Chain A
Amino acid sequence: MHKNIQSELQSVFRKAFENNSIVISGQTTANDIYGWDSLTHMTLINDIEQHFKVEFSFNEVSSFNCVDDMIKCIAEKKLKR
């Protein structure tokens, strides 16, 4: 499940940053992607919510330090459905 989420996340990232060469891993952070600033971060969160049809709370979003954190949170929400 996590691998599928990561693969879908990668397409969300590519769209958000308008860069088709982006390759993400679980350890990817904002420092690894050019243009990942505070506003893009919030845009990316919106895109992820829309794509996976989930809604994050403030505490969840605040705890995202790397892509793995996003994947875990999305997976938990999917399981609860």
Chain B
Amino acid sequence: MASINKSFFIQNNEQTICSGFLFWYKQTPASIALYVEGKSYTYNELYIAASSIYTELKNYGKAEVGVYCSNNFFSYASILAVSMSGACYVPLNAKFPEKKIKDIISDCNLELVISETPLQQLSLVQRIKNVSPEISNEDKEIEIIPFVYQSLAYILYTSGSTGLPKGVPVKKNSVNSFFKFFIEKYDFIPADKFLQAYELSFDVSVFSMFCAWNAGASVYTVNDGANKFLDIFKAIQKHKITVCSMVPGILAVMSKYFKDFDFPFVRYSFFSGDALYQSLAKKWKQCIPTAHLHNFYGPTETTIVCTRYKWEEDKGEKESVNDIVPIGKPFPGMEYVIINEKGIILTNGETGELCFAGIQVIDTYCNGTSPESFFMHSGKRFYKTGDWAKVNEQGNLIFLGRKDSQVKINGYRVELAEVENGIRIVFARQSKVIIERVGDWNHLVAFVEGEIIKREEFLFQLKAVIPDHMLPSKLIFVVKLPLTMNNKIDVQKLRSIINA
């Protein structure tokens, strides 16, 4: 059986991120490459569709191409086609508000957007060419040669603190270095089935698509809609998914059904995007008895993920802090430092801001915004993640929350994760604690899932596990914590509830 090795990537990582797909298209054209909207497409079918869009793109020769995307065949074929052309893709999620789409187009000076059908909202945007290429069914092989020079693989937009989306341009050699890690460390095979339940505007989708295609494996997507959380687990069962990547938030929502799940065919269960809780990981492991459970970490600015922790129940029990599973060690080619508020590098397991340097770190944001997020140290350029972390005795990084999740209240330092863990221990409930600033004072507001508990009773019980200065001054009970489009806890929405 053919396989992609490291030298293949060294030879092919200059101009595109889809070398793996093209390799397997030639090896096993009849294998399933993609399952989307209830239909399977072979490598050959996906190639034909992508190459017809690629041919259309040749007429424009643009180095950045917007892809108006939702979970459909056209979007996947378009992303592949843009990669084949050598250009970088900019996902314009159909769920984004119109203003966000226009802000993105303007921020990265997009001149070409491809969409399945012409977009009304772009008709008034000057200089934009909106094309809707016909997908061909004709089985003909054309030579795929990148025709534009572009060092970037994609540009993703995150929510900027100013309210305007912030463009994160990620280079092809960063993405290919990320791919290499998975090729070297994992035994993915063509028979593998990867779950792809992420939005295409969320960078972990790059893992689910391209790491599957690098192995000649199949990508199984899940329909959007009200039943999506349920459909993810139905898909795992129905398709016998072997590589299952998701954000921990989905597990938290679905944990009440774990007793109904038995997925012995899952080989790998990957988490990233938010804190993974040891208590939840233990319960989930019962559903995937033979799988390896790995916890990853990485901001978009460090190319999808850049650290890994190979979870085992006993090890996780010893190493978890505030019930949060460690995020492990950095990938090859990446290094980190932990700095204090003055920018001084900390050692000996002290807590500070986690910063990364290396091949997976972006050079800059689009338009050079936020230069303060980067600094030089020992001749290397580091990116400040805005996350608090420390290193434990085993050399594993421990994620301790966002930088603004540590505050001083009445002179005491409080870690919000510690309060959330206290609530989990006493009430076995999921919660999110956030800081409310009233004048010069900081107060803790706890959003707790489940039925209302009388305030006095709640605080009395919580006092058994956390000190008085950590007790929340406000309690808000919710049925479920709100999640963002990427299924992370939606802190902005929680803030708006406080301010309402």
Chain A interface residues toward B at CB < 8 A? 16, 30, 36-43, 46-47, 50, 57-59, 61-62, 64
Contact = CB atoms under 8 A, between A and B. Distances in A.
A64 B451 CA distance: 24
Nearest to B253: A42
Interface stretch (B220-228, B268-276, B321-329, B399-407): B220-228
Interface of B: 225-231, 233-234, 253-254, 257, 260-261, 451, 479-480, 482-483
Nearest to A47: B479
B227 A38 contact: yes
B227 A62 contact: yes
Contacts of A38: 225-229
A39 B482 contact: yes
Shortest 6 CB-CB distances between A and B: which pairs?
A30-B226, A58-B260, A38-B228, A58-B257, A41-B226, A43-B479
B225 A57 contact: no
Nearest to B258: A58
A58 B233 CA distance: 9
A30 B231 CA distance: 14
Majority SS at the chain A contact face: helix
A56 to B, nearest CB: 9
Given A38-B229, A41-B230, 12 more contacts: A16-B479, A30-B226, A30-B227, A36-B226, A39-B480, A40-B226, A42-B229, A50-B451, A57-B257, A58-B257, A58-B261, A61-B230
B227 to A, nearest CB: 7
B29 to A, nearest CB: 34
A39 B257 contact: no
8 contacts: A30-B226, A37-B226, A39-B229, A39-B253, A39-B482, A47-B479, A57-B257, A58-B233
Contacts of A57: 257, 260
Nearest to A61: B230
B6 to A, nearest CB: 39
Contacts of A59: 260
Contacts of A16: 479
A64 B261 CA distance: 18
A59 B237 CA distance: 11
Contacts of A37: 226, 228
A76 to B, nearest CB: 17
Nearest to B249: A39
Contacts of A58: 230, 233, 257, 260-261
Interface centre among B226, B227, B234 (most CB of A within 10 A): B226
A54 to B, nearest CB: 13
A57 B451 CA distance: 21
A46 B230 contact: no
A61 B228 contact: no
B225 A30 contact: yes
A17 to B, nearest CB: 12
A38 B182 CA distance: 31
A41 B232 CA distance: 14
Nearest to A33: B226
Given A58-B233, A59-B260, A46 B479 contact: yes
Contact of A46 (B226, B228, B480, B483): B480
A65 B448 CA distance: 30
A41 B227 contact: yes
A64 B234 CA distance: 13
B297 to A, nearest CB: 24
B404 to A, nearest CB: 24
Contacts of B230: 41, 58, 61-62
A43 B450 CA distance: 10
A52 B149 CA distance: 62
Contact of A39 (B225, B233, B260, B483): B483
A38 B231 CA distance: 10
Contacts of A36: 226
